[in-house]
Amino acid sequence: MRHYLKSLILSAAVFYIVYSFIPTISIGTNPKNILLIIGGLFVISQIINPVFSLVLLPINLITFGLISLILNGVFVYGLLRFLPDFVINPYNFHGANFQGIIIPSMNFNQITTTILVVIIITFLQKIFHLIFE
């Protein structure tokens, strides 16, 4: 039981980090939307991803575990399609400078912003899984 609670908290943390990193994500005012998003991330990370990783083991080994990226992409697409208040708008990254490392400014359209969100979700899920489990 503690494992599932920890995984649910990690799913909420992943969504919070993505939501704060990409400010053009809109989830609406209904609290049901947040519960659906966090619950969906939890179900994908705990049930669907392990099953698909096992069933598609040869493909998963060849692609170095990109099955979870595809599953998260399908999940985000499903949310965008069936949850009317959940919207990912185009994002304008103004650039950054981290101790001499310069990241130039970039403009993302709606599709590339969605892909960026999916990549960040998958990356954070993998990192949190390595750290906390």
The model's pTM is 0.85
Query: How confident is the model at residue 16, as a pLDDT?
Result: 93
105-120 pLDDT, tens digit per residue, is: 999 999 999 999 999 9
Query: How confident is the model at residue 110, as a pLDDT?
Result: 92
15-41 pLDDT, tens digit per residue, is: 999 999 999 999 888 888 888 888 888
H helix intervals, the chain: 2-21, 31-43, 49-55, 57-62, 67-82, 110-132
To which residue do tokens 């099953």 refer? 51
Q: How far apart are CA 29 and CA 116, in angstroms?
A: 24
36-87 pLDDT, tens digit per residue, is: 888 888 888 888 878 877 887 788 778 877 888 888 898 889 888 888 888 9
Query: How confident is the model at residue 17, as a pLDDT?
Result: 95
